[in-house]
Chains A and B, each alone.
Chain A
Amino acid sequence: MKSINLTFETGHIYGLLGRNGAGKSTLLNLINNRMFVSDGTIALDGHPIKNNEQALNQLFMTSEDTLYPGDMRVKKMWRTTQDFYGTFDWSFAKRLARNFNLDPNFKLKKLSTGNRSIAKLITALGAPTKFIFLDEPTLGMDATNRDIFYQALLEKFGSGDQSLILSTHLIQEVEKMIDHIFVIDHGQLIEDQSVEAVQSHAFAISGSETLIKEHIASSKIMSVEPFGKQYKVYVRNYNLADLPDSLHAESLDLQAYFVKLTNRGTF
């Protein structure tokens, strides 16, 4: 992990995107006092969070690794959260468990991967913290359960005093829900913008090679696709008003944008 500088505010649903091994989990582990930074600080409202329990009580994270003992019952996970964080949203958790068809009396180790994800998810959504970090929360969950999860998430984070930081590879499923993205690549932060800003400035522009080379600054080009005499370039931070009539622009969805941004490989 290299030097990274980013800020989370309340009232947002953030998407933390990055390819496998890009450093997302490491970043989340550093923020949540699970690992320590060798240089620099992580602060909540200006106070460093390192072993600062007042700050840590405002952060909750679930990761792919299950940090609960396998013989713990789902109900006990909620109880534990209440013991350590002061309160827990029992009615929300119980309702969610019903929606997901999960029996809270089960022990974690008896659950399938998908249901274990669900158990951790419910626990996180019931936690009373300002910031909730979910690292790959939908691991092993089927499409229906993911749908229930997204609905719960929008219910929980619609009110505005909490924020969710969602790290996921299922970009298409969450692209309309997240309002701000961070993209981590090779341990560096390469994107930090609202989804609206990214969206309105990312395009696939096609036209002849000469015209494109003449009109599009190479610094804005993420990727190039030659196609016969036609050229297709994927651009970011581009103002559509600058586009000459002779070139054609198409909008990109978030997933296409992400792929073009992070795929440095050439064929």
Chain B
Amino acid sequence: MKFKATTLYNFKQQGLTLIYFMVGVVLFTVALPLLGIIFTSNAQIHSATNLVVLFTIINFIGGYITLAQKNFNLFIQNGVGRHTIINSVLSVNVVFALINALLAQGIHGTFNTKYFQIRFMNFIDDFYGPNSSYGTHNIVWRFLFILLVLFAIANLGSILGAFWSRFGRIPRIILILLVIFTPTILMNVYRLLSATTQANVKIIIAQLIGIQAHSGIEPLMTLLVIGILTGLMVYVLNFKRELKRS
């Protein structure tokens, strides 16, 4: 009963997050360009959206919400045990990774019409090229890859949700600023490097996360381990989590 109620509650919230995002996506990639077409008559519109990146964000936010203080408080108020909260969150993360991976796989390719094209890209192609083990032709591997990425990301979101309440106001601001500026700073440093160093950095990063050119099953294994480790962290962070008194 507690598990069912907890899971349903989480499921509804994640579903809403997904819907809000999809409405936003449709608005920005289809409706607004369409308006442009209407007003400028015969102009052509090109729009490109990276689906995996989009669903990564959705799953991260969904994972965050399920274990944020607001949800945790409600579950504790209703006599839910820590293990049930954890099991429910992990199950919901798996299910939504599955749903979103299917969506990412399903809405793939290019909507090509006379007046506008919408390309739904997949960052995997950027890394591996369409002919790799995770290319467009290997549907199963590709799907598993996306699934594991989304699951690990959702778990990371849950970890942040559990952590966030422990930070005070100032650490929170510092963290947000760090998240916003670190990529910019890193990208600028990266651009200053010579072309060969850039290529080397790319290889090192790719190998760090288990990506190799024409790679086989190794990246999947790496992602699986990351998924399990983040899942374990969700467990550790919440099993002794206490109510924060305000």
Determine direct contact between A and B, CB below 8 Å.
yes
A interface residues, Cβ below 8 angstroms from B: 25, 29, 32-36, 51-53, 56-57, 59-62, 65, 67-69, 80-81, 83-86
- Minimum distance in angstroms from A165 CB to a CB of chain B: 15
Does B193 belong to the interface (CB within 8 Å)? no
What is the CA–CA distance of A211 and B74 in the complex, to the nearest angstrom? 59
Q: Please determine whether B79 and A33 come into contact, CB atoms closer than 8 angstroms.
A: yes
Segment with Cβ contacts to A, from B105-113, B147-155, B237-245: B237-245
Residue of A nearest to B246 (CB): A65
Contacts of A32 in B (CB 8 A): 79
Q: Give the residue of B70, B74, B246 whose beta carbon is less than 8 angstroms from that of A80.
A: B74
- Give B62-77 as 1s and 0s: 1 = Cβ < 8 Å from A's Cβ atoms: 0000000010011011
Sampled A-B contacts (7; CB under 8 Å): A29-B245, A35-B243, A51-B81, A83-B5, A84-B79, A85-B1, A85-B78
Contacts of B81 in A (CB 8 A): 33, 51-53, 56
- Minimum distance in angstroms from B84 CB to a CB of chain A: 7
Contacts of A35 in B (CB 8 A): 242-243
Q: Please determine whether B245 and A25 come into contact, CB atoms closer than 8 angstroms.
A: yes
Q: Please determine whether B8 and A83 come into contact, CB atoms closer than 8 angstroms.
A: yes
- Minimum distance in angstroms from A158 CB to a CB of chain B: 25
Q: Please determine whether B73 and A67 come into contact, CB atoms closer than 8 angstroms.
A: yes
What is the CA–CA distance of A53 and B6 in the complex, to the nearest angstrom? 13
Q: Please determine whether B5 and A60 come into contact, CB atoms closer than 8 angstroms.
A: no
Does B142 belong to the interface (CB within 8 Å)? no
What is the CA–CA distance of A153 and B126 in the complex, to the nearest angstrom? 66
Chain B interfacial residues counted at CB < 8 A: 23
Q: Please determine whether B8 and A56 come into contact, CB atoms closer than 8 angstroms.
A: no
Chain B residues 206 to 246 lying within 8 A of chain A, measured CB to CB, are 240, 242-243, 245-246
Q: Please determine whether B1 and A68 come into contact, CB atoms closer than 8 angstroms.
A: no
Contacts A34-B76, A53-B2; A69 near B82 (Cβ below 8 A):
no
What is the CA–CA distance of A36 and B9 in the complex, to the nearest angstrom? 25
What is the CA–CA distance of A62 and B73 in the complex, to the nearest angstrom? 12
What is the CA–CA distance of A29 and B244 in the complex, to the nearest angstrom? 10
Residue of B nearest to A34 (CB): B243
Residue of A nearest to B70 (CB): A69
Contacts of A57 in B (CB 8 A): 1-2, 79
Contacts of A25 in B (CB 8 A): 245
Does B83 belong to the interface (CB within 8 Å)? yes
What is the CA–CA distance of A69 and B75 in the complex, to the nearest angstrom? 11
Contacts of B9 in A (CB 8 A): 80, 83
Chain B residues 76 to 93 lying within 8 A of chain A, measured CB to CB, are 76-84
What is the CA–CA distance of A112 and B80 in the complex, to the nearest angstrom? 28
What is the CA–CA distance of A59 and B74 in the complex, to the nearest angstrom? 15
Q: Please determine whether B77 and A53 come into contact, CB atoms closer than 8 angstroms.
A: no
Contacts A53-B80, A83-B8, A84-B2; A68 near B243 (Cβ below 8 A):
no
Chain B residues 1 to 38 lying within 8 A of chain A, measured CB to CB, are 1-2, 5-6, 8-9
What is the CA–CA distance of A181 and B228 in the complex, to the nearest angstrom? 50
- Max chain A C-beta neighbours (<10 A), residue from B78, B81, B83, B240: B78
What is the CA–CA distance of A110 and B81 in the complex, to the nearest angstrom? 30
Contacts of B83 in A (CB 8 A): 51
Contacts of B5 in A (CB 8 A): 80, 83-84
Contacts of A62 in B (CB 8 A): 77
- Minimum distance in angstroms from A113 CB to a CB of chain B: 14
What is the CA–CA distance of A59 and B79 in the complex, to the nearest angstrom? 7
Residue of A nearest to B75 (CB): A84
What is the CA–CA distance of A83 and B77 in the complex, to the nearest angstrom? 13
Residue of A nearest to B83 (CB): A51
Residue of A nearest to B71 (CB): A69
Contacts A67-B74, A68-B74; A84 near B80 (Cβ below 8 A):
yes
